[in-house]
Amino acid sequence: MSLNRWILTGLAILAPWAAMAQAPLYAVVTESMLSSTESYRITDMALDTNGLVWVTTEQSGILRFDGERFIRMDAAPENPDDEVYYTAIAMIRPKFWLAAGDGVYAWKGKEWMQTTFPEKHCVDLINTGMGRIYALGSNTLYYRGVAEDRWTQEDVPGLEGAYQLIQKEGLLLIASESGLWLRNPAGLWTQLLDEPVSSAMPLGSEWLAVTQDGLKRLGDGGWTLIAPAVKGYHSFVSTADGQNAWLIGESGLWYVRNDGAALRLFSQGGLELETLQHGMASDAGGLLLASEKDLLRVDQPERWFDLRTLPYRLGPVEHVSGLGTDSCWLATTKGLYALGPKGLHSLPKPGAGVVAGLSIEKGGFAYGEFGLKSYARGAWKASGVTEWVSGLSWKGDSLLVQTLNGWMRLNGSGQLVPYAGKTPTISDQAGDAKWVTDVFGLALEASSRRVGEHLKPSLLIRGVERRTKKENDPVVLKFGFRGLPAAREAVPVEYQINGGEWVNLGLARRLVLDRLRAGRYEVRFRAAAPNGEVWGEPVYTIEVLPAAWKRPEFWVPAVGIGFLLLGLAGYIGWRRLRDRRIWQKERAQLERMALRLQMNPHFTFNALESISAFVLEKKPKEAVTYLHKFSRLMRYTLENAEEAYVTLEKEKQALENYIALEQMRFDHGFQCVFQVEEGLDTQVLGLPPMLVQPLVENAILHGLRPKLKAGATDAVLKLYMGLGPAPDTLLIQVEDNGVGREASKQHKSGDEGEKRSAATRILENRLQALQQETGKLHSVAVEDLDEGTRVSLVLAMYQEWDDND
C-alpha cells in the first residue's frame, strides 16, 4: 500500500474521533436572494412599509429589491466613473427617503435630488422617529426637521474621523477615530471611550464597542474585552427582548448575550460567513446579511445547528432529548450519542430492536422495542420493563411509561402498575431551550435569540411592469408576502379580474396579463394561512387605453384635419374643374366661331361659282334672282355669325334659300320636300347656325348631281325636323334618292372629294366642340338606303330661355 493511501486511511479512521472531541460550532441557515449574475457592494439597507428592501451601494446607485431582483431607483450617470458612493439610507416617510453619499439626497416619490447639505460627504444618517433627522459628516454632526430643508450644525467637541451614528431610546452615539461619544437626552456630549471605535451598539442597558483590540463591553466595572476576533465596521440588530444583540460586519456574524458571551455563527455547510457589509432585521423577524457579493436571508436566527451533528457525520437524527442549552442525547440511524459543551460521545446500544425515544430529564433513559433501560456508569441497566415502550413521562417523582396496554406507572419494585390519572404529555425536553431536528441536523432553538416580527404578515403587490398602456401590451404584476419567512411563503395565491371567478396561481408570484382590450380591469389577489387567517386582498386597477387611432383625443382632431384636407382638396378640385370647364367652354366657343368662319367662305365660294355660271351662260334674269337669294342668305350668315344658336325657323328659312339657289344652279332638276314634325315649336327651339347646310350640300352635290347628269328626272331631296329618339334631343334628317355613297365615289373628281371631306370634317369638329361646351351628346349617323343616302343628326335640345337660367 502506498504512503498516500496509508495517510488517507488514517485520516478516515481519526476523523470521527476528532469530530467527537471538538467543541460545539453553531450555524444558521442562509438563503441567497440574488441570482448568480447579480453582485452589489451594499453599504446600507432599510425596509419600507411594504417589506421591500432598499439599499445603497458603492458603485451601483440606490436599489430596491422587489422580491425577485434589484431595481435601480436613481438615475444612472452616462459615465460610470461618475457613480456616487452612497453610504447610508433612511426612510423618513413611505414616500420620503434620504440617502447619504456625496452630500445628502432626498427622494419624494419621483427622483433623487441633492439637498443643501453643508459638507461634500455624509458618513451616516438616521431618522430618530421624533421629528428630527441626524446626518454625520467626517468631523461634524448636523440635524434638521422632517419638514425642513436647512441643516443645522450640532457641536461635538473633539470629534474626528466619524464612522457610525447609533440611536437608542433618545440617546445618540458616534463611533469615530477619536473615540466613542454619547449624547444624553439633555443634549450633552460625553466621551465614553478614548480610543478609535469603528462601531458601537447597545446590549440591554449596556454598550458594546468594536475597537482595535476587539469587541469591548461597558459594564459596571468599565470596559472589558469579550471578543478579540471582532474587529472592523459592524452593524447590529437587537433581539426581540432587547437584551442580546446580533453583530454583522467585517468579522462575520456574531451573537452576543447580555452576560457578555460572544459566539460566532457559521453557514449551514460549516463555512465561515466572511466579511459582511451590512445587516438588518428582515420583514419576517429574521436577518438580512449583505456580503461582498450576495444578499443573504436568515429566516430563523433563533435556530442554531450544531455542526457536530451534520447528517453526513452521524446520519439523520431520529430522536433527541435535551437538557439545557448545551447538552442532549440523540438517536440517529448510526447509533446513540451524548452531546455536551466539551464534545460528542458515542453511547452503547441499549438493546435489540428499535429505539422509540430518549429522556435525560431525570437521569438517562432509552425506550423502545427492548423495553425501558436506564444509563449509569457507562452502561445500560434493565428497569424490569421488557415489553414495547412507546412513550415516557414524569409525574412528580413517578415515572410513567406508555405500553401496548396504555399508560402504566413504574413502582419502586420495578413493576408496572395501572395508571388511572390524566393522560400525561410525552416530554423529552427540559428547560427554556428546545432541541429540534431538521434536514441540516440537530438544532437548538432559544426564544432569547429571536429578532421579532417586524411587519404584520400580508399579501402585497410588489411591482408592475408594462411598456405602455396600449391594447395587447402585456402587464406583469409581481406580488409576494410581507412579514413571512420564505418557508411560510409556500402558500397558493388566487386572483380575480372584475369580480369574475377566482383562478388559482399555485406558488407563482407573478401574473402576466396579455391581449387586454381597452377598458378598466380590477385585479384582486387573495391568500389564506393554513389556520384560515386571511393575509389581505390587495387590488390593482389596470387601465388599458385603446389604440391611438381609436381614442377621441386622436381621431377627433384627425377627422377634423381629414375633413379640412378633404374640403381643401375638394375646393381645389372644384376650382380646377370649374376653370377647366370655363376654359373648355371658351375654347369650344372659339373653335365653333372659327369653324363657322371656315364654313362661310366655303359656302360663299360655291355660290359665287354658280352665279358666274349663270353669267357665262347669258342668263341675267336667273343670275339676278340667284344673287338676290344669295344676298339674303349672306345677310343671315353675317347677322348670326356671333350667335351660338338660332331658332329652327331661321335655320329652316336659310336652308330653303340655300336649296332654292342649288335648284336654280341645277335647272330645277330635283325636288325638295321639307317636313317639320307637328307640334315642334320652331320659334323656340334652336341649334347652331349653318349646322345642317353641309349635309344638304353633300346630298345635292354627291347624291343627286350624278343622277341628274345621267338624265334622271325623279331626284328628290327630303329634310325632316322633329323630336329625337332620346328625351330632350332634336332629330334632323337629310335624305336623297341619289346614286348612293359607293357610286358617288366613282363619279367624284379630286376637287369635289376634297370639298366633301372638308365639309364633313368641319361638321364633325363643330359637333365635338358643341359636346365639350355643353357636356351633352351630339352625333351624326349615315345610313345607306336602297336608293340614296340618309344622314341623321341628333342634337341636344336647346331653348331660347336656356341663356337666361
- pLDDT tens track for 88-104: 999 998 889 999 999 99
For residue 3, the model assigns a pLDDT of 32
Residue of higher predicted confidence among 748 and 399: 399
Q: Among the listed ranges 242-246, 314-318, 375-379, 557-561, which one has the minimum average pLDDT value? A: 557-561
Tell me the three cell numbers of residue 57: 451601494
**Most confident among 245-249, 596-600, 739-743 (mean pLDDT):** 245-249
**Is the Cβ–Cβ distance between 755 and 748 less than 8 Å?**
no
Mean per-residue pLDDT over the chain, rounded: 84
Task: Name the residue among 720, 738, 743, 736 with its Cα closest to residue 793.
Answer: 720
**Spatial CA neighbour of 25 closest among 317, 299, 304, 273:** 304
Q: Rounded to 5 degrees, what are φ and ψ at 409?
A: -110, 135
pLDDT at 607 over 50: yes
Kindly report, residue by residue over 482-518, the tens digit of the pLDDT. 887 776 667 889 999 999 999 998 888 889 998 888 8
Going by pLDDT thresholds of 50, 70 and 90, the confidence category of residue 194 is very high
Report the alpha-carbon angle 295-234-194, nearest 5. Answer: 170
Beta strands in 68-127 (DSSP E): 70-72, 88-93, 96-101, 103-107, 112-114, 124-127
In angstroms, the CA 423 to CA 352 distance is 28
Residue 603 vs residue 788, higher pLDDT: 788
Q: Which residue has the cell 334622271?
A: 712
Q: For the ranges 134-138, 264-268, 718-722, which has the lowest average pLDDT?
A: 264-268
Answer yes or no: is pLDDT of 17 > 70. Answer: no
The predicted pLDDT at position 7 comes to 29
In terms of pLDDT, which residue wins out, 472 or 257? 257
Flag whether pLDDT at 674 surpasses 90: yes
Q: Smallest Cα–Cα separation from 104: which of 162, 53, 143? A: 143
Look up the pTM and report it: 0.66
Grade residue 5 by pLDDT with cuts at 50, 70 and 90.
very low
pLDDT for 802 equals: 56
pLDDT at residue 603 greater than cutoff 70: no
Contact 318, 337 (CB under 8 A): no
Q: Residues in the chain, how many? A: 805
Strand ranges for 371-457 from DSSP E: 371-376, 379-382, 391-395, 398-403, 406-410, 416-418, 429-430, 434-438, 441-445
Q: Which amino acid is at 297?
A: R
Residue 594 has pLDDT above 70, yes or no: no
pLDDT of 432 reads: 60
pLDDT > 90: percent of the chain = 34
How far apart, in whole angstroms, are the C-alpha atoms of residue 529 and residue 214?
Answer: 45
pLDDT tens digits along 642-660: 777 889 998 898 889 889 8
Q: Is the pLDDT of residue 415 over 90?
A: no
- The residue-averaged pLDDT of 237-264 equals 92
Out of 7-11, 156-160, 553-557, 588-592, which region has the weakest mean confidence (pLDDT)? 7-11
> Hey, what's the cell of 257?
448575550
- Give the per-residue pLDDT at 475: 93
- Dist. CA 56–CA 105, nearest whole Å: 12
What confidence tens digit (pLDDT) does each residue in 419-451 have? 888 877 766 555 567 888 888 888 888 888 989
pLDDT of residue 624: 82
pLDDT at 9: 34
Q: 724 is written with which cell numbers?
A: 329625337
Contact of 510 with 501, CB cutoff 8 Å? no
Q: Can you give the C-alpha Rg of the chain in angstroms?
A: 60
User: Would you place residue 22 in the very low, low, confident or very high pLDDT band (cuts 50, 70, 90)?
Assistant: low
Q: pLDDT class for 21, splitting at 50, 70, 90?
A: very low
Calpha distance 63→323 (Å, rounded): 46
pLDDT, tens digit (0-9, with 9 covering 90-100), for 262-283: 999 998 877 778 789 999 998 8
Q: Is residue 13 pLDDT above 70, yes or no?
A: no
Give the pLDDT band of residue 44 (cuts 50, 70, 90). Answer: very high
Tell me: pLDDT of 183 over 50. Answer: yes
